[in-house]
Amino acid sequence: MLRFAYKLPLEETLVMNYSLLLCLPLVFLFISPGNADQASDKKKESDNVYAPLIDQGLEVVEFDVDVDGRQVPAVIASPSKEKIHSDPLLLLTIGGANTHLLPPNDLPAKYFLERGHRAVSLSVPSVASSLGTFGEMAAEGPDPTLEFIEEAQAVIDYCIVQGWAKPDRIVVTGISRYAYMAFRLMAADERLNIGGGFAPVTDWRDLSEIEPMKDKPEIIDLRLSKFADDLSGKKIYMAIGNHDDRVGTLSCCQFFLDLNTANEKKGLSRSLVDFFVTPDLGHRCGDEWYERGMEILLNTAQQQD
């Protein structure tokens, strides 16, 4: 289901409607006056939420993708026709309950949008509310990350069908626990070869919420180093503060070493992984590390042209 946060010109509306008829299952919705009022209220609420983006001339579309009966919400922002790149990239920015197209976690998306590229934000409900709950789900099995991967791939498929993305021109990023999700998605999807993580979770055993279950094999097997072989050959950027006791600076360093080992085994260059241990205190990265990271990822993607 699409929910537009901006007014489409008539000709674009006709094209979009025709595309939906070709690519999506038909859903007939009979709207009573009461439902129409609710839809209008929801549209106004959406307009208010994304007003800062719309005021910048960006086009914003909210949409849902059905995955085995689960409605997966996402939102995409695109530069105007006058400002969009001739061959735009798509940034998939992984977020929590709130979109990562708006502050305070919008720096990756902002970098891409200002340079004429699109950005889509996908939420991860399983880890948005409680890390402890996620740990309990993982300990009991199956790995809840697998459900997220399925949902994220469905969103990517939808963006490709809509003409918002090309399979070889997608970059993925995340912050903290969502950086973990971004890297797991990269490991599982051959279309995703460029990605970054800011202050990333790399080993769930470092999180205080996971302490009661950290010795369970299912939790141990969540560490990103286990997926280093699947990430080899892919361009990765990481930055973390040198005293990040929240997610574990040393675990991130170990993941970096394991990535390099996996690349070297295949005769690949160590330059595939850019890793910065920053002077930031606590669980944060300064804006300059976001800027540097997004510059590296964007340049890498454009060099593939």
Predicted local confidence at residue 133, as pLDDT: 77
pLDDT tens for residues 70-106? Answer: 899 999 999 999 999 999 999 999 987 667 999 999 9
Give the C-alpha separation, 223 to 203, whole Å. Answer: 4
Residue 235 has pLDDT above 60, yes or no: yes
Which range among 42-56, 159-173, 185-199 shows the weakest confidence by mean pLDDT?
42-56
Residues in the chain: 305
pLDDT tens for residues 111-132? Answer: 999 999 999 998 876 555 567 7
Residue 5 has pLDDT above 70, yes or no: no
Give the C-alpha separation, 248 to 210, whole Å. Answer: 13
Predicted local confidence at residue 98, as pLDDT: 66
Mean pLDDT, rounded, for 218-243: 97
CB 92 within 8 A of CB 124: no
Whether pTM > 0.75 for this model: the answer is: yes
Give 238's contacts (C-beta < 8 A, 6+ positions apart).
179, 196, 197, 198, 200, 252, 255, 256, 273, 274, 275, 276
Q: Which CATH class is domain 63-303?
A: alpha beta
Residue 27 has pLDDT above 90, yes or no: no
pLDDT tens for residues 239-258? Answer: 999 999 999 999 999 999 99
For tokens 């939808």, what's the residue? 158
Bridging pattern class, strands 194-198 and 235-241: parallel
Rounded-to-10 torsion of CA 94, 83, 290, 232? 60
In DSSP notation, 184-250 reads HHHHH-TT--EEEEES----GGGSGGGGGGTTSHHHHTTSGGGGHHHHTTSEEEEEEETT-TTTTHH
Q: Domain residue spans in the chain?
A: 63-303
Helix (H) or strand (E) holding 23: helix 10-23
